[in-house]
Amino acid sequence: MSGCPAFAGHDKLYRDMPAMMAGLAERSDTVQGRAVNQSAPVTVEKASARVLNRAALTRRLVEILKHDEAVVAGIGNTNFDLWAAGHRKQNFYMLGSMGLACPIALGVALAQPKRGVIALEGDGSILMALGCLTTIANVRPRNLTIVIMDNGLYQITGKQTTATHGVSDIVAIARGAGLEASWIADETHFDVLIDRSFEHGGPVLYAARIDDEPGVGKTVRDPALIRQSFMKGLGTSRGGDLDR
Ligand SMILES: Cc1ncc(C[n+]2csc(CCOP(=O)(O)OP(=O)(O)O)c2C)c(N)n1
């Protein structure tokens, strides 16, 4: 099992970032070979966020991963698109119940504090479990990054609208819970935010406004298999009869 050295020895919390960024000169840098503007604003409001595509953003995330980060996707489209981006043993795909990507990711982050952990969740699902944001904000796992894919819909059950389709703003809710949070302006800003969360730590929540394209894959519907693969990916599996 390899941990995430990016977190070791970095004592600065993400809340120091605005002050740090204010001191940065205008310059370009690269994240995994992509040019990024390191002087882009750290926090962005919803009105400035472009509508993105969940599958493309998920592929982008998987490409940016540098170590064996755990990625925990919620029920439905977030895990369909994570699966479609290419299965990794460090991926966990929630089946059946909404609102559990962040609580599961919190548990993984606390159990393996040297590993980067990313939760991918839909707006409908996080709205069902807002209390977990207050827990995460108070427990402050530095290795946890949350990405909310906000299409304003319970898409997978027939596109019923959620509260974020109306006046509710998931980033504002997260900030109220005590988390550092930002809307994602565009794909390049996403690269910068993810890279910063790896370098400087969390917990942090980023929300993307996304379109209503359906998920592009279909996760294997076998919870035991998913759990066993994930435990192997985290180095915590004791193995079973089939491994002999
Ligand atoms: C506790 C619970 N309530 C209701 C459902 C039915 N359900 C499954 S997915 C879903 C919508 C999920 O919406 P969201 O998280 O926004 O993801 P999207 O479908 O938009 O990708 C609903 C209502 C469920 N599985 N679990």
**Cα 126 to Cα 158: distance, rounded to the nearest angstrom:** 18
Asked whether residue 138 carries a pLDDT value surpassing 80, the answer given is: yes
Measured by CA distance, the residue closest to atom 22 of ligand 1 is: 157
Residue nearest to atom 13 of ligand 1 (CA): 154
pLDDT bin (cut points 50, 70, 90) of residue 16 is very low
**CA-to-CA separations, 141 to 7, 68, 193, in angstroms, rounded:** 11, 17, 17
Question: What mean pLDDT value characterizes the chain?
Answer: 86
CATH number of 42-236: 3.40.50.970
Residue 244's pLDDT is 54
| Residue 225 burial (C-beta neighbours within 10 Å; 0-12, 13-18, 19+) | exposed
Q: Which atom of ligand 1 is nearest to the CA of 122?
A: 15
131-137 mean pLDDT: 98
Query: How many helices and strands (H and E) does the chain possess?
Result: 9, 10
pLDDT at 238: 75
Index of the ligand 1 atom closest to the CA of residue 162:
16
Q: Which of 53, 75, 130, 147 to mutate to test the pocket of ligand 1 (most atoms within 8 A of CB)?
A: 75
- CB-ligand 1 contact for 152 (6 Å cutoff): no
3-class DSSP state of 155? helix
Domains of the chain: which residue ranges? 42-236
pLDDT tens-digit profile of 175-206? 999 999 999 999 999 999 999 998 889 999 99
Q: How many CB atoms lie within 10 A of CB 134?
A: 14
For 96-127, the pLDDT digits (tens) are 999 999 999 999 999 999 999 999 999 999 99
- Are 236 and 72 in contact by the 8 Å Cβ rule? The answer is no
At 57-87, the pLDDT tens digits run 999 999 999 889 999 999 989 999 999 999 9
Using alpha carbons only, give the angle 72, 133, 228 rounded to the nearest 5 degrees: 20
Out of 127, 154, 162, 211, mutate this one to test ligand 1's pocket (max ligand atoms within 8 Å of CB): namely: 154
In angstroms, the CA 125 to CA 143 distance is: 22
Rounded distance, CA 68 to CA 143, Å? 12
**Residue 12 predicted with pLDDT over 60:** no
